[in-house]
Amino acid sequence: MIITDLKTHVLAAPLEQPFSFSQGWVHQRTAMLVEIHTDDGLVGWGECINHGLQPPQVAQAMVEHALKPLVIGRSIFDREVLWETMYNHTRPYGQKGAALFGIAAIDIALWDLAGKALGQPIHRLMGGAFRNEIRPYATGFYRREGGKYPEEVVEEALRHQANGYRA
């Protein structure tokens, strides 16, 4: 099962109400997806985090220009070799941030492909499941323009608790 193509997709949605955190104001939520095609018609998907204020196009450019050429023509089962190859290739200019985020997106897509090819859930390919369920948690508690801090985040926490969140 050989990788024949890799496509990237940037997703962005403006926020109705921007918020701030330690790095600045966030006006939109973004993601960059990786879509990998194989010679036998399988398609695997991976997602790249866009931390803080990073434009998703930064990771997209990293994947398209630095990483894609390294994986085309390779086997989907060479995950470890491909990870090391991508990391070592980008080491002089990317030991963190967009380079690692792009590598992670490709790695996730390769795991997705392996699971599909073998008809197995990814957790089984990674050595098994430690649990059958997870406890969801609420996140947020950001500052909002014109907001009252910390009063509004206390109210938010109480809403999450009322909705059944324990963490």
**Per-residue model confidence as pLDDT tens digits over 75-119:** 999 999 999 999 999 999 878 888 999 999 999 999 999 999 999
Q: Which residue has the tokens 């023509």?
A: 73
**Per-residue model confidence as pLDDT tens digits over 113-141:** 999 999 999 999 999 999 999 999 998 88
> What residues make up the domain containing 164?
134-167
pTM for this prediction: 0.88
Q: Who contacts 44 (Cβ-Cβ below 8 Å, separation ≥6)? A: 35, 36, 38, 76, 109, 110, 111, 112, 113, 116
Q: Are residues 90 and 150 in the same domain?
A: no
Task: Return the CATH number at 64.
Answer: 3.30.390.10
Q: Are residues 138 and 61 in the same domain?
A: no
What are the C-alpha distances in Å from 111 to residues 5, 71, 77, 108?
16, 14, 9, 5
Q: Are residues 162 and 102 in the same domain?
A: no
Q: Average pLDDT over the chain, rounded to whole?
A: 93
Higher pLDDT, 86 or 51: 86
